Amino acid sequence: MPEPKRSPRRVPSKSAEPSAPLAASRAIAKSAAKTAAIRAPKPVDHDTLVEIFRRFHDADPEPKGELEYTNPYTLLVAVALSAQATDVGVNKATRPLFAIADTPQKMLALGEEGLRQHIRTLNFFNTKAKNVIALAKRLVEEYGGEVPDSVEILETLPGVGRKTASVVVNVAFGNPRIAVDTHIFRVTNRIPFAITKTPLETQVALEARVPSEFRLHAHHWLILHGRYICKARKPECWRCPISDLCRYPDKTLG
């Protein structure tokens, strides 16, 4: 009688071991991450940070934003309208608008369609008009037509986010908050004052690090620096007043 056939003995799989190409890929990625970590500068120390803001202060002791407004309400509207728009474009639209609607009550009287005609040149003007009218309604019904000096309250209003709320309480009421836009986010991480991933992280880091004597104007110093010197594509490091203190590794020479 023939013997039964035996199943061949299984050889343990070596799939747990990475293939040569995969191992090489991992090694390259690890090396790149290590190089990036070494190349990335650490945030400047406290004394350097103080010197940077001292220079900003000496160059422009009373910096001003470029949006035009006449009172806290028109500032709130102007900042809300400035999303995805230039300050120049917003000012062009709001000069005639604020001449006839510089309070929430007057804005409601103008109405959404009337407002829309004034801001047609701005991106997303339909949504912005709807939000500004809803904002005016809330201010009249809940706050007597006054703009609250509170980031937390302002953030609950239609079309108002953390940046807009922080700008308003900083500029209109002298509250030392540091609103963060794309310019400030870039400058903060380039110098760097901090290494952050989101605007909120950046605001928290700046408000914790910037000394109190500079905090009131920090928003304007940083936004103007980012807009006119520390530009996104090609920073003008050759004329930067803090180039010797900045740790950005890709400085331009002209």
CA dihedral 234, 235, 236, 238 (to 10 degrees): -110
d(CA 87, CA 111): 23
d(CA 79, CA 67): 8
Note if 163 is an active site residue: yes
d(CA 45, CA 136): 44
d(CA 186, CA 226): 7
Contact in structure between 109 and 133 (CB atoms under 8 Å): no
| 182 assigned to a ligand binding site | no
The tokens for 11 are: 């050889």
| 231 assigned to a ligand binding site | no
Q: How many CB atoms lie within 10 A of CB 35?
A: 10
| 148 assigned to a ligand binding site | no
Contact in structure between 68 and 96 (CB atoms under 8 Å): no
Catalytic residue among 163, 231, 244, 250: 163
Among residues 163, 94, 176, 101, the alpha carbon closest in space to that of 136 is found at 101
Number of alpha helices (DSSP H) and beta strands (DSSP E) in the chain: 11, 0
Catalytic residue among 34, 45, 181, 197: 181
| 241 assigned to a ligand binding site | no
Note if 197 is an active site residue: no
Residue numbers annotated as active site: 163, 181
Binding site, annotated residues for [4Fe-4S] cluster: 230, 237, 240, 246
Binding site, annotated residues: 230, 237, 240, 246
